[in-house]
Amino acid sequence: MTQTKIYALAPVLARHRTALSDAVHAALVGVLEEEAGPRLQRFLPLDDESFIFPADRSENYLIVEVQLMTGHPAALRKRLTRALSDAVEAATGIGAADIEIVLIEAPSANWMRRGQHGDELALAFDVV
């Protein structure tokens, strides 16, 4: 179970929204073996005044935040961030220097899906 937020300047998201959605989804499905169906994604377009980022990044700079349950091993999380970065770069042409990814974990009891708490669901990995 994951939810994703993608932050970027509004024109960047307008130009790449579909490619970003497909790339992020493919990486999540491929690495986490998530359901291929639902995409829980939010795109947060920002204007120049609301998105301050380092001068060594281009106007294509974007941040991908993936919220997921605690319990995935570090090696899998590293594979996921690499897969996300590679997929976004391949799909959009945005270079790795302009892609920032952060995984935000929360205990399974803090999640609810379809009326069931995350710690009550049958999952493909051990949760905490």
CATH of segment(s) 2-117: 3.30.429.10
* Mean pLDDT lowest among 30-39, 41-50, 63-72, 93-102: 30-39
Residue 38: strand, helix, or coil: coil
Mean pLDDT confidence for 87-98: 98
What are the domain boundaries of the chain? Answer: 2-117
pLDDT score of 128: 45
Residue % of the chain over a pLDDT of 70: 84
**How many Å apart are CA 70 and CA 125, to the nearest integer?**
10
CB atoms within 10 A of CB 68: 22
pLDDT score of 115: 73
